[in-house]
Structure 1
């Protein structure tokens, strides 16, 4: 498959590129600065300057774009708007590296994890920004999107175990009552979803076993 990874220089992006290459896919790293990934194909361009022509011909486009400060939080929504808009009406799948704070804690899906009393206060603005982005993404009826939330503990340097639990919109823990996944195992789940295409226009979540 032909796969583009936007914001490929980030920690998640690099591992998604690595996993895709290991599986034999043709990968293009979309980066703003010098390429740090293993990808042989590189498009050096700001995300917000990308055009329909830049993303034409790919089977899947992954957004690994991250936001880390109050002034950049709105860009989580605007980046998805831009990319989803470019891919609207095409057969190209659009997959987003999301967050756990917007997962629901009740089966009726009325309360999000970020709204619970024990959710860390310092992470609430980021979680709320990601929730807004997901809500906006859901409005793109003609884009083949999938939003993949990691576990609550998203471990950048965690081990690649090769195993994970696939869940849905509701916050889930493993048999030990834990919600954790390494970036490497998340990358496996991302590539599995790209290859299988099982959850188009859905938000799913993944966690370690």
Structure 2
């Protein structure tokens, strides 16, 4: 597939880019600065400057953009809105590196992880910002999208185990009672989801089996 990865130099973006390259996809890193990935194709451009024309040639556009400054939480929503507008009415599918806070903790889908008593206070602004962006994305019937949440514990320096499961938008724990995933396993599962070519206009999640 022809895959573009926005914010490819970021921690998750780089791992997804390199995993897709390893699997022989034609990958373009979209970055603001010098390319730090294994992608041989590069588009140096700010996310907000991207146009429908820039993205029209791809099968998949990966949005790995993220922001953690509490004063800039609105960028989650505005950046995703911009990308959705660029891809509106096309067959290009948008895969979003999402958050765990929006996973449902009940079968009725009334309560999300970010609204539970034990959810870390320091993570709440990001979860709220990303949750708002997802809510607006769900309203877009004109865009093909897949929102990929990690497990509750997203481990930056965790090992690659290749022992993970792709599931739906409900919070899930493994047999040890843990909800965790390393960045490396998340990247592998993310590309698995792209290759499966069966998800559309849904939120999915990836967790480590053991």
Fold conserved (TM > 0.5)? yes
1:128 equivalent in structure 2: 128
Which residue in 2 is equivalent to 1:186?
Answer: 186
Specify the SS of the correspondent of 1:129.
helix
In 2, Cα distance between equivalents of 1:108 and 1:155: 29
Q: CA deviation at 1:177?
A: 0.5
Q: Does 1:90 align with 2:69?
A: no
For structure 2, the residue ranges without an aligned partner over 5 or more in a row are: none
User: Please, what is the CA RMSD of the aligned residues?
Assistant: 0.8
Deviations 1:95-148 (A, max 9, x none): 000000111110001011111111111111111111101001111101110000
Q: Which runs of 5+ in 1 are unaligned?
A: none
Cα distance between partner residues in 1 of 2:164 and 2:198: 16
Of stretches 52-61 and 191-200 in structure 1, the one that deviates more from structure 2 is 191-200
| 1:172-183 aligned within 5 A | 172-183=172-183
> Aligned residue for 1:110?
110
CA apart distance, 1:196? 1.3
Deviations 1:16-39 (A, max 9, x none): 011000100000000011111111
- Show structure 1 runs of 4+ deviating over 6 A: none
Tell me which residue corresponds to 1:45. 45
Q: 2: CA distance between counterparts of 1:97 and 1:33?
A: 20
TM normalised by structure 1 equals 0.98
**TM-score (norm: length of structure 2):** 0.98
Aligned residues: 209
Q: Give the CA deviation at 1:163.
A: 2.2
